[in-house]
Structure 1
Amino acid sequence: MIEQILDAAELLFSQHGLYGVTLKDVAKHVGVHHTLINYYFDDKKALFDQVFARRAVVTSERRMRMLEEYEKASKGKPTVEGALRAFLDTDLDLYIEGGEGWRNYAALASQVANTPGWGAQMMDEHFDPVVLRLVGILKKALPDAAAEDIFWGYHFVTGALVLTLARTGRIDELSGGLCRSDDFVAVKERMSSFMAAGFMAICKQRMPAAH
């Protein structure tokens, strides 16, 4: 029953956000009385937090493992694109292979990531360790780059990822159907290469000139 409740809440939260859903809405979607939801969860925020944490731990642990494996395989010579692929492709694979539940979570995560205050705090709590591991590898790949440029680069990466996960449909309209916002395979083929080039551009332009 818990999984049914979490699945229903995930779908509803992904569509309407934290404040657009009530516990009664979740109960109705599951087909139970709302008192059953209250039995398992103290309030709506407690339900929301568990919905978010359920998949956050999966993607965070998978990406951490892939970053560790990549760093070991690179033998001290990581590349920007290699690090980004370990981080981005691993996450995108979940949305490609994981079915509609994971895609609902993707939309939900994009909302949380763009919410100041409590949303940013949730992202910090669940994802800071894996993000900082990525940043550490990027610093090894670009040892002469300014630290702020690497953090800005990550900022731009996560912005593009979050927009992609939101599946707004805007690129579908702009491209006349050539591109689809739910085509995570197409995104995976392009995003890491695109972002790696951006990292190199902003970092190299500020690196000290060689003598």
Structure 2
Amino acid sequence: MLRDGTVPKMSSIDRAEPDAAPAAPRPRNHKARVREESIERILDAAEQLFAEFGYHGVTVKDVAKRIGVSSALIHYHFDGKESIYEAIWARKAPISAHNRLAAMRRYAEEAGDNVTVEGALAAWIEPDLNVHIENHDYWAAIGKISAQANSAAGWGAEKMTKYYNPVVLALIDLLKKAMPDCDEATIFWGYHFLSGAMTHNMAQTGRLDELSHGLCTSDDFASIKRHMAKFMAAGFHAICQGPSQGR
């Protein structure tokens, strides 16, 4: 509360989530550890299957077969396929969201009144690229699942909304600060194009490898990091400064 009794307006960055991601509770005994290990095996297998075949291409029986257990064990831990799918998102998407939000907060504090489009985009883009560079095997499948979800109405859009809307709105706030003369609708269109490009990168389809005859590879996240924010910033500037803005 301010001295005059009013409550300051919070930006999306400030209100999106706590400063630190909550740590997962550690199992207290052997039985709890065995249960958690069983759940992790199920989720690891299911994540790979969803990444490969999509949400509608996977059944509980497929997951059970992948790890060599009965479907009854899967149902002991989960209510069904949607329950497994939700658990996959819940264990990794909040980490991605937290990393991005933390990076944007740091950037906003460092930049002060000198926020740039490229700086804002880099703060939003690079945390996900960094984890792929550092531990690609752990993040590859959820990246592909996110790409599928971002292109799917209903079940996919719901997950993107649930886990990423606060972070997206925080980015929009930064972009508004960087481009105060750009109308809000145009900024949202810019984000729409950015989001599609970002999740396409995460899909790692191999299409780029084939097109370039191996000159470029779709899993070269270091090169994506080097080029993407600059490329996207140019697009934002183009649509915000062009004559068609707001039409």
CA contact (8 A) 1:145 1:206 kept: no
Count of equivalent residues: 208
Indicate which of 172, 175, 182 corresponds to 1:145: 182
Cα displacement string for residues 44-67 of structure 1 (whole angstroms, at most 9, x for unaligned residues): 111011112211100001101111
1:85 maps to amino acid: A
Secondary structure at the aligned position of 1:173 is classed as helix
Secondary structure at the aligned position of 2:213 is classed as coil
What TM-score does the superposition give when structure 1 sets the normalisation length?
Answer: 0.95
Corresponding position: 1:118 with 2:155: yes
Query: In the TM superposition, what are the counterparts of 1:87-98 in structure 2 within 5 Å?
Result: 87-98=124-135
2:45 maps to amino acid: A
Cα displacement string for residues 162-202 of structure 1 (whole angstroms, at most 9, x for unaligned residues): 11111111111111111111111111110001001111111
Corresponding position: 1:74 with 2:111: yes
2:110 maps to amino acid: A
Cα displacement string for residues 77-126 of structure 1 (whole angstroms, at most 9, x for unaligned residues): 20001011110011111111123120011011100111111211111111
Secondary structure at the aligned position of 2:217 is classed as coil
1:31 CA displacement = 2.0
Secondary structure at the aligned position of 2:123 is classed as helix
Which deviates more, 96-105 or 39-48? Answer: 96-105
Unpaired segments ≥5 residues, structure 1:
none
C-alpha change, 1:80 and 1:207, in structure 2 (3 Å) is farther
CA distance in 1, matches of 2:55, 2:116: 39
CA contact (8 A) 1:146 1:207 kept: no
CA contact (8 A) 1:11 1:101 kept: no
What TM-score does the superposition give when structure 2 sets the normalisation length?
Answer: 0.82
Corresponding position: 1:14 with 2:51: yes
Q: Give the percent of matched residue pairs that are identical in Structure 1 and Structure 2.
A: 46
CA contact (8 A) 1:146 1:206 kept: no
CA distance in 2, matches of 1:18, 1:70: 36
CA distance in 1, matches of 2:197, 2:172: 17
1:206 CA displacement = 4.3
1:13 CA displacement = 0.4
Indicate which of 154, 169, 172 corresponds to 2:209: 172
CA distance in 2, matches of 1:154, 1:89: 15
Which deviates more, 81-90 or 97-106? Answer: 97-106
1:37 maps to amino acid: I
Greater C-alpha radius of gyration: 2
Residue aligning to 1:129? 166
